[in-house]
């Protein structure tokens, strides 16, 4: 069953074309690695898929329904944004933040069990009563994952969640993604610049650079030297473009 389907999705920021006719689908149980150079449009694409940007052309369907026609579809979606620093003085505890992810009225007992289970999955049971702002960057990111999975979503969208986290924490984080996908059976779309991690974790890869550059099985991308060369050239160009504008 298709969890997400995009058909000819295009998006302009003013007069600048940011997404050009993107078409792909994600099947239930997939772990789709979304890769692309800086400025390729990955975050814009996620914003369209999550209903945060509405002015796109084309069609985005989730669970078989057009997201423009049914906003309640997002209740089945967990979202982990690009890493943001949480204010140190934000007073909410880890448990309070995770509870924000529960959108239904479940009753105190079930909510407590759900929160405990989500914290157990991400390995943060010991810090449940701590202020979220006191935690390290990696722990904060795991809190956001716990919040995203506490409502038992069918789809998890993660936008470069491991950027800026040390290597050891990144590896633990990737192991967590694998567990969520394989043990909790959560379909995932995960954007990353870490090609090594994507090659090891993702079942499929979508590579965009404003338009769809490649979409298929992970091994097809990583075993094709021409695709890898083209990707690295595009990344280099994007890097130089960014450098020129700084």
Q: Where are the alpha helices (DSSP H) in the chain?
A: 42-49, 94-99, 108-122, 137-149, 167-182, 195-201, 218-222, 225-244
* Termini Cα distance of the chain: 44
Residue 165 contacts residue 174 (beta carbons within 8 Å): no
The residue among 96, 81, 85 whose CA lies nearest residue 46 is: 81
Stretch of residues binding other proteins (CB under 8 A), selected from 44-52, 61-69, 165-173, 200-208: 44-52
- Beta strand pairing call for 31-35 and 187-191: parallel
- Using CB under 8 A as the binding rule, whether residue 77 contacts other proteins is answered as yes
Nearer to other proteins, 36 or 78 (CB): 78
* DSSP character at residue 135: S
Stretch of residues binding other proteins (CB under 8 A), selected from 26-34, 56-64, 73-81, 211-219: 73-81
Nearer to other proteins, 34 or 201 (CB): 34
Round to whole Å and give the CA distance between 231 and 139: 32
- Using CB under 8 A as the binding rule, whether residue 85 contacts other proteins is answered as no
Q: Where are the alpha helices (DSSP H) in 68-107?
A: 94-99
Round to whole Å and give the CA distance between 185 and 91: 33
Binding-residue pattern over the window 206 to 245 for other proteins, x denoting contact by CB under 8 A: ----------------------------------------
- Using CB under 8 A as the binding rule, whether residue 106 contacts other proteins is answered as no
- Using CB under 8 A as the binding rule, whether residue 96 contacts other proteins is answered as yes
- Using CB under 8 A as the binding rule, whether residue 58 contacts other proteins is answered as no
- Using CB under 8 A as the binding rule, whether residue 190 contacts other proteins is answered as no
- Using CB under 8 A as the binding rule, whether residue 17 contacts other proteins is answered as no
Binding-residue pattern over the window 108 to 147 for other proteins, x denoting contact by CB under 8 A: ---------------------xxx------------x--x
- C-alpha distances (whole Å) from 46 to each of 52, 77, 87, 137, 158 are 8, 12, 24, 22, 9
Stretch of residues binding other proteins (CB under 8 A), selected from 1-9, 59-67, 81-89, 234-242: 81-89
- Using CB under 8 A as the binding rule, whether residue 97 contacts other proteins is answered as yes
Give Dmax over CA atoms of the chain in angstroms: 55
Nearer to other proteins, 97 or 205 (CB): 97
Positions in the binding site for other proteins (CB under 8 A): 50-52, 71-72, 74-75, 77, 79, 81, 84, 87, 89-93, 96-97, 99-101, 103, 129-131, 144, 147
């Amino acid at each position: 069953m298709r969890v997400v389907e995009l058909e000819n999705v295009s998006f302009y920021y003013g007069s600048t074309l940011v997404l050009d006719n993107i078409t792909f689908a994600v099947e239930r149980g997939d772990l789709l690695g979304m890769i692309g150079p800086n400025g390729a449009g990955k975050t814009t694409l996620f914003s369209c898929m999550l209903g945060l940007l509405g002015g796109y052309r084309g069609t985005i369907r989730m669970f078989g329904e057009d997201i423009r026609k049914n906003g309640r579809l997002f209740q089945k979606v967990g979202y982990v944004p690009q890493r943001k620093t949480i204010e140190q003085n934000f007073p909410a505890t880890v448990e309070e933040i995770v509870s924000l992810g529960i959108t239904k009225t479940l009753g105190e007992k079930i909510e407590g069990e759900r929160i405990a289970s989500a914290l157990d999955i991400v390995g943060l049971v010991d810090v449940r009563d701590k202020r979220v702002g006191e935690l390290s960057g990696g722990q904060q990111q795991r809190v956001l994952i716990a919040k995203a999975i506490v409502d038992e979503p069918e789809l998890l969208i993660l936008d470069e969640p491991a950027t800026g986290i040390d290597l050891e924490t990144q590896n633990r984080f990737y192991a967590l993604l694998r567990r969520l996908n394989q043990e909790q059976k959560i379909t995932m779309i995960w954007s990353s610049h870490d090609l090594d991690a994507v090659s090891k974790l993702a079942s499929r890869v979508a590579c965009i650079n404003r338009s769809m550059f490649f979409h298929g099985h992970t091994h097809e991308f990583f075993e094709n030297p021409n695709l890898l060369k083209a990707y690295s050239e595009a990344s280099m160009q994007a890097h130089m473009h960014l450098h020129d504008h700084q």
